[in-house]
Amino acid sequence: MPDLWTDLLGCLDITKTSAGDGVTAEYDGRNQQLEYHRVFGGQLLGQFLRIAALTCPEKAVKSQHAIFTREGRADEPVRYEAVRAHEGRSFAAVTITATQSRGVIATASVSMHAVEVGPEHQEVESVGPVLGPEYTLPLDLIPWETRASIDLNATTIGPPQFEFWMRTPAVAQEMAQALAAYATDLTLIGTALRPIEGADQRGNGTTFTSAVTSHTVWFHRPFRTDDWLLLRQHSPVLAHGRSFGRGDVLTEDGVLVASYGQEALLRFTEQR
């Protein structure tokens, strides 16, 4: 089995199987080789973004909204159909559908924009220094360096907030959006669980059942993932069997480069 990093990069190397009619194109994407029976949503987010970049190479993705309709099977490749719904001088829109033999497993609406210059401002909490190597805390499914002062695998009660630093091995900047989106899918449910006594993110299938239903990422500025990035997130609400979380991606210098939000099914196996 290849190492997780090499395997992930291979999954993001998308193959076009049909050029279609100039508006529609088809792609194949293989799945990560994980000890996990279903397709990880972060993989689909990354593949959606790579397909959008191939569909409209003259523009950059500014947002992606993905809906996960059913569980994807890890033992079956995913087939994608991309439709260029619009492409003008400034903006483009691409709709992508991911299917397996049982039907549609996910869809994505991707909005793209030709890069422009103009006034800038941001208002976010300042970023502290990168945590030292003593805070190294591996996160399952993320095959690169991550550092955090809070362990989401612990059942310690705390506010529904979490942040971690990450840095990938050297990689082309064109992969940054897909790799960052992949990372944003992993820890928002665990963040929502922090105030719940006796719960931690490893309890899926035992103390609770969870599944991401929708995930949105907005990209504000170009960035690299082989430089340090801070993912700062919180969950403002958990109610009616659903969790919601949102976060920001910031550079070591405090520049806001992306934001994200996620809703997930989150059912507890016993009343709390």
Query: What pLDDT was estimated at residue 1?
Result: 45
84 belongs to a structural domain: yes
Binning pLDDT at 50, 70 and 90, where does residue 2 land? low
Nearest-angstrom CA–CA distance, 255 and 89: 28
121 belongs to a structural domain: no
Question: What is the CA 229 to chain-centroid distance, rounded?
Answer: 14
Q: Tell me which range, 122-131, 150-159, 263-272, is most confidently predicted by mean pLDDT.
A: 122-131
Range of the domain at 103: 1-116
Whether 155 shows a pLDDT value over 90: the answer reads: no
pTM of the model: 0.94
Whether 94 shows a pLDDT value over 80: the answer reads: yes
Same structural domain for residues 47 and 82?
yes
Phi and psi for 4 in degrees, rounded to 5? Answer: -65, -35
pLDDT tens by residue, 110-119? 999 998 989 9
Same structural domain for residues 17 and 97?
yes
Query: What pLDDT was estimated at residue 211?
Result: 92
Same structural domain for residues 14 and 109?
yes
DSSP structure string for 58-116? TSEEEEEEEEE-SPPBTTS-EEEEEEEEEE-SSEEEEEEEEEETTEEEEEEEEEEE---
Of 244, 245, 241, 242, which Cα lies nearest the Cα of 231? 245
Binning pLDDT at 50, 70 and 90, where does residue 271 land? low
Same structural domain for residues 176 and 229?
yes
The number of CA neighbours under 13 Å toward the Cβ of 170 is 0
Of 153, 225, 268, 155, which Cα lies nearest the Cα of 5? 225
Same structural domain for residues 217 and 252?
yes
Domain count, the chain: 2
Task: Count the neighbouring beta carbons within 10 Å of the beta carbon of residue 114.
Answer: 13
Residue 114 has which token pair? 């030709």
Binning pLDDT at 50, 70 and 90, where does residue 272 land? very low
Same structural domain for residues 103 and 153?
no
| Torsion sign (Cα): 149, 154, 159, 162 | positive
Among the three residues 116, 149, 181, which one is the final residue of a domain in this structure? Answer: 116
pLDDT tens by residue, 31-74? 999 887 789 999 999 999 999 999 999 999 999 999 999 999 99
Burial pattern 68-97, b for ≥16 Cβ within 10 A else e, equals beeebbbeeebbbbbebeebeeeebbbbbb
Same structural domain for residues 236 and 262?
yes
- The CATH number assigned to the domain holding 105 equals 3.10.129.10
Helices (H), the chain: 4-11, 41-55, 176-184, 188-193
241 belongs to a structural domain: yes
